[in-house]
C-alpha cells in the first residue's frame, strides 16, 4: 500500500487534487480516495459522473522508465484483473485505449497524467452503482451483490503496482498478451475519433509499443491515441 492515503467524503476531483499535491507540496507515493466528486474528469477533459458507492481514486508515484502508452495499457490490465477477481462474467473486456467494459457497457475508466516528473493514475470503477446513461454498468449489477469499495481499492492498488513492476522489469510482452486475450474488437470494423478527426478501418491488433493497428485499404496504420467505436457497417471515414 502507498505510504499516505487522503480520504474525502466529497472532493472536486481526485485527479485534480493529486496534481495540486504535486505542484504545491511535491507529494509522492500517496493515494487520494473519495466517496463523491463534484467535478470528476475522464480522458480528454470529459466529465466522469460519480454516483455514490463507487471507487474514485488517484495515486501518485515516481514515473517508471517505460513507454507511456505501454504504461496506460498495463494499468488497464491491472484494473481488469481486479474487477474479474470480484465478479465472474466472460463479457468483462478491455476496450482500447484503457477502458473496461462488461456486456458492452462501461464499468471503469482510467486517466494517466505526468506532472513534474511524477505519475498520476486515476481510476473510476462502478462498484455498486452506475450513471443512468444506458451505457454504463456496475459490479453490483453483474453480481447481484453489494461489493466492498475498500476491498476493491486495496486490490486495485496492489495490482497496479504489480503490473507496473512487470512492465518495467519484463517488458511489454505480458501486457500485450493479456490485452489480446481480453479485447473484443480484433478483426472488426472500428472508427477511431481523435478530437475532430475520425478514421475507420479494421482493427488488427496492437504493435509492440501498444499502438492500435488499423488496416485501411491495404495500408497498415498505427494510432497512438483516440477513442474507438465499433463500426459494424464498415463505413469509411477519413481524417478531415
Q: Which domain holds residue 12?
A: 4-182
The pLDDT assigned to 194 comes to: 84
- State whether 115 and 30 are in the same domain: yes
Write out pLDDT tens, residues 184-231: 888 999 999 887 889 999 999 999 889 999 999 889 999 998 888 886
CATH number at residue 129: 3.30.930.10
Tell which phi-psi region holds residue 168, choosing left (phi > 0), alpha (psi between -120 and 50) or beta.
alpha
Q: Are 191 and 202 in contact (CB under 8 A)?
A: no
Q: What is the mean pLDDT of the chain?
A: 90
Residue 236 lies in a domain: no
Write out pLDDT tens, residues 112-163: 999 999 999 999 999 999 988 778 999 999 999 999 999 999 999 999 999 9
Give backbone dihedrals phi and psi of 111, rounded to 5 degrees, phi first.
-135, 125
- For the chain, give the percent of residues with pLDDT over 70: 92
- State whether 120 and 198 are in the same domain: no
pLDDT average, residue stretch 18-28: 95
- State whether 14 and 92 are in the same domain: yes
- State whether 193 and 175 are in the same domain: no
- State whether 123 and 12 are in the same domain: yes
- State whether 84 and 116 are in the same domain: yes
- State whether 85 and 51 are in the same domain: yes
Q: What is the pTM of this model?
A: 0.91
Residue 235 lies in a domain: no
The tally of domains found in the chain comes to 2
- State whether 136 and 207 are in the same domain: no
Residue 232 — very low, low, confident or very high, per pLDDT cuts 50/70/90? low
Q: Are 10 and 36 in contact (CB under 8 A)?
A: yes
- State whether 52 and 152 are in the same domain: yes
Residue 217 lies in a domain: yes
CATH number at residue 212: 2.30.30.100
Amino acid at each position: 500500500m502507498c505510504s499516505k492515503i487522503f480520504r474525502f467524503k466529497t472532493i472536486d476531483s481526485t485527479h485534480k487534487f493529486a496534481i495540486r499535491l504535486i505542484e504545491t507540496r511535491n507529494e509522492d507515493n500517496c493515494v487520494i480516495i473519495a466517496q463523491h466528486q463534484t467535478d470528476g474528469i475522464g480522458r480528454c477533459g470529459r466529465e466522469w459522473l460519480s454516483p455514490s458507492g463507487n471507487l474514485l481514486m488517484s495515486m501518485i508515484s515516481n514515473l517508471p522508465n517505460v513507454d507511456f502508452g505501454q504504461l496506460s495499457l498495463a494499468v488497464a490490465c491491472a484494473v481488469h484483473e481486479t474487477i474479474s477477481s470480484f465478479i465472474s462474467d466472460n463479457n468483462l473486456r478491455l476496450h482500447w485505449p484503457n477502458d473496461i467494459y462488461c456486456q458492452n457497457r462501461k464499468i471503469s475508466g482510467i486517466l494517466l497524467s505526468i506532472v513534474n516528473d511524477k505519475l498520476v493514475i486515476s481510476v473510476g470503477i462502478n462498484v455498486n452503482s452506475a450513471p443512468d446513461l444506458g451505457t454504463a454498468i456496475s459490479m453490483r449489477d453483474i453480481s447481484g451483490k453489494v461489493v466492498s469499495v475498500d476491498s476493491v481499492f486495496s486490490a486495485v492498488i496492489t495490482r497496479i503496482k504489480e503490473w507496473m513492476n512487470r512492465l518495467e522489469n519484463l517488458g511489454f510482452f505480458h501486457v500485450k498478451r493479456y490485452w489480446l486475450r481480453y479485447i473484443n474488437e480484433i478483426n472488426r470494423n472500428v472508427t477511431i475519433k481523435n478530437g475532430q478527426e475520425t478514421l475507420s478501418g479494421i482493427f488488427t491488433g496492437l504493435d509492440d509499443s501498444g499502438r492500435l493497428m488499423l488496416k485501411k485499404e491495404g495500408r497498415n496504420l498505427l494510432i497512438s491515441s483516440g477513442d474507438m467505436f465499433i463500426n459494424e457497417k464498415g463505413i469509411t471515414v477519413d481524417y478531415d
